Amino acid sequence: MNSAERKAILADEILIVRNSGEIPEITYHGSLYYLQEDKDGPGLRLTDEEICALQEAALERYEEIVLRDLMPENRDKAIYRGLRRSVYNWQRMQDFCRRIGRDCSAFGPVVSRRLQAFLEQELADTRSGRRKTSVNCSVADLQGFCAALAMDLDELPAGWQNLFGPSEKMEKQCA
């Protein structure tokens, strides 16, 4: 295999990982297997640089899906999974980063700002009666997300607790 063929094969796999589904890590490992071990694959010995390129593609996809569910304009689209999914995808991304030994802390402030803006818009829309809340996680989930993002709850917009159902409000008061 010549250099151009190798680059083309890797470029295809990077594209596949970058555009993968909800759990990019699975696609990343599938690509590693295909490229190196699959009897129908090219049987490559990947360099550290090539592995890093595949990891970067997975991280870019994680970033995209974490932010997707923090975009108010997505709330009524089929791609929207809700705040709960953003919380899950954030955790999956952090777990992946730990497993591959990468520091993803620079993404935290981006997510924090997007979360604040999302909650501000959600509050404005629910207060005005334009829509019912789309928040589909628990108070504890949101508090845990904030903790994972190193955010103080004071950074959330005033009245954020009103985005949760009555049973959640009681749970918050009793906790």
Q: How confident is the model over 85-143, as pLDDT tens digits?
A: 999 999 999 999 999 999 999 999 999 999 999 999 999 999 999 999 999 999 999 99
Contacts with 135 (C-beta within 8 Å, 6 or more apart), sequence order: 82, 83, 122, 142, 163, 164
SS3 state at 77:
coil
- Which amino acid would we find at residue 113? R
Residue that has been written with the tokens 């997975």 in this structure: 58
Give yes or no for a contact between 155 and 112, defined as CB atoms under 8 angstroms apart. yes
Number of other CB atoms surrounding residue 146 within 10 Å? 20
According to the model, what pLDDT value does residue 173 have? 42
pLDDT per residue over 23-53, tens digit each? Answer: 999 999 999 999 999 999 999 999 999 999 9
Contact between 39 and 1 (Cβ < 8 Å): no
Q: What is the dihedral of CA 109, 110, 116, 118, to 10 degrees?
A: -160
What percent helix, strand, coil does the chain show, rounded to 5? 70, 0, 30
pTM here is 0.88
Q: pLDDT value at position 166?
A: 57
Q: How far is CA 25 from the centre of its chain?
A: 12
